[in-house]
Amino acid sequence: MADNDPQTPDNDEHSAEAVAVGSVDVEARIEDIITEAIDAGDTERVRDIVRELHYADVADLLERLSREYRARAVEIIRDIFDPEVLSELDETVREDVVNALGVKEVASALSELDSDDAVFVLEEMDAAQQQLYLEHVNEEDRSLIEQGLSYPEDSAGRLMQREVVTVPSQWNVGQCIDYIRRRADSGDDELPSVFYDIFAVDGEDHPVGAVSLSRLLSTRRQVPVAEVMEEDMHVINVATDQEDVAFLFRQRDLVSAPVVDDSGKLVGAITVDDVVDVIHEEHEEDIMRMGGVIEDDLYRAAVSTARARFSWLVVNLLTAILASVVIGLFDATIQQTVALAVLMPIVASMGGNAGTQTLTVTVRALATKELTGANAYRVITKEVIVGIFNGVLFAVLSGLVAWGWFGSPVLGGVIAAAMVINMVIAGLAGASIPIILERAGADPAIASSVFLTTVTDVVGFFAFLGLAALVLI
């Protein structure tokens, strides 16, 4: 289908049912249409619609259907099922779809996919299940896939395409172009379907330079490759973590990069489309972790979701109990002045919020490598100053509120002093906890907020009630 409507990137002129990327309403409509067609037993309509869709949209559609309709839809489109759909599906949904498709269909899909996509589909399964499907894949594809699976999870080796165009560095531009055209003419399977750079290698298969296709096309045929190739390219080791790969691509505006094994031999290439997925994935992970969710669970069943979130809540229960113990130390004071119980959450909550602001900036700066050993001290100092500044402002505000509410200037003074203390500590803790965790090799995104809340709750309650106990009794 042509998709050339200039008004939006998504409206499709000649098909009312075409999925619209980015338009919630039309997207919502298509699953209703499919659900209705399944209910009405109109399988031809389902097949017609799916045939018209891009594989990414088929994946979206399957994700949005409920589990029963998903299984029924897969049953209906089984023989027109595009293997690419599998690599676009959310993990939980993919499990459903793979089970619905059955061993033979999945195996044939794996053969059809590029090796990196096949690895992507298989990597979340356990070894027994992987074997089940791989048994039915032809030997050549199987060995490529198994090699991909042998690299560490989240490594460059898993991300890379094995298919890559290499040329001897002594060739000229014309030879390269003829070589590519000859391989394409002969229907060479090993020629990648889309590529952006060709790589010049020496006699030992070590990459020595990269030539972008636009450079290749803009250069006369007789010019030697060595003259136009980019020597200052970024060679990635198969074991490099995908997060570092993504950082490199973003930092250097790369579209593809050669991957080498430990002996420096070229074994594949990573292209930007895979990196975009990695960036997106890492992004999801960061946000989820900061929100106390270990794994995106939108498509998981309720009970399994509850179980996955349970452990985080247990940690938080312990934190909350610790804060309660601190309050318990001052129960006599509270009994005497019940206004303390009324006001104490304000101090803890403001510390928590101010600390979270600091924490967010610090965790992000660590993730983007903007925060290093060299400026850590400066960042912490700054956050303490910010804490003093806002601490004083909110001390005045909350002091006035307490004074006005309970008619006690002393109570106002106590909450003001506690507020300054807690907000300064919040700045200090919000900046230093992630830095310490990072140095200790822990992921600052996931553990920082629990530590921070513990600090701001304990300090908040202790400062406020402790000062009150000193002053009011």
For the bound state, the minimum distance from the C-beta of residue 320 to its own copies, rounded and expressed in Å, comes to 4
Amino acid at site 172: N
Distance of closest approach, residue 96 Cβ to its own copies, in angstroms: 15
CA atoms of 339 and 238, how far apart (whole Å): 62
Q: Which is nearer to its own copies, 102 or 291 (CB)?
A: 291
Q: Between residues 264 and 409, which has the closer beta carbon with respect to its own copies?
A: 264
Shortest Å distance, C-beta 148 to its own copies: 19
Phi and psi of 203, rounded to 5°?
-60, -20
State how far the Cα of 159 lies from the Cα of 69, in Å rounded to an integer.
Answer: 32
How far apart are CB 426 and its own copies at their closest, in Å?
10
| DSSP-assigned beta bridge partners for residue 268 | 259
Contact 249, 271 (CB under 8 A): no
CB of 202 to its own copies, least distance (A): 10
Residues 138, 117: Cα–Cα separation, whole Å: 16
Burial 216-250 (b: 16+ CB within 10 A, else e): beebeeeeebeebbeeebebbbbebebeebbbbbe
Q: How far is the CB of 93 from its own copies (least distance, A)?
A: 10
Residue corresponding to tokens 């992970």: 285
Coil/strand/helix, residue 417: helix
- Residue 407 CB, nearest distance to its own copies (Å)? 14
Q: Which is nearer to its own copies, 287 or 471 (CB)?
A: 287
Report the chain's C-alpha Rg in angstroms. Answer: 29
Assigned token pair, 62:
């399957």
Joined tokens for residue 25: 């309403």
Closer to its own copies at the Cβ: 137 or 198? 198
Cα–Cα distance measured from residue 328 to residue 321, given in angstroms and rounded to the nearest whole number? 10
| Token pair of 321 as six digits | 């109990």
- Find the shortest distance in angstroms from Cβ 36 to its own copies: 12
Contacts by 360-368, CB closer than 8 A, 24 or more apart: 360/290, 362/430, 362/431, 362/434, 362/435, 362/444, 363/286, 363/290, 363/434, 363/444, 363/445, 363/448, 366/434, 366/435, 366/438, 366/444, 367/286, 367/445
With respect to its own copies, which residue has the nearer C-beta, 107 or 339? 339
Question: What's the min distance (Å) between Cβ of 130 and its own copies?
Answer: 25
**Which residue lies nearer to its own copies by CB, 129 or 147?**
147
Nearer to its own copies, 168 or 345 (CB): 345
* Residue (105 or 274) nearer to its own copies, CB: 274
Helix (H, G, I), strand (E, B) or coil at 381: helix
- Min dist CB 221 to its own copies, Å, is 9
Nearer Cβ to its own copies (80/301): 301
**Which residue, 64 or 72, is less far from its own copies as judged by CB?**
64
Q: Give me the count of residues in the chain.
A: 473
The token pair that represents 205 in the structure block? 């298969």
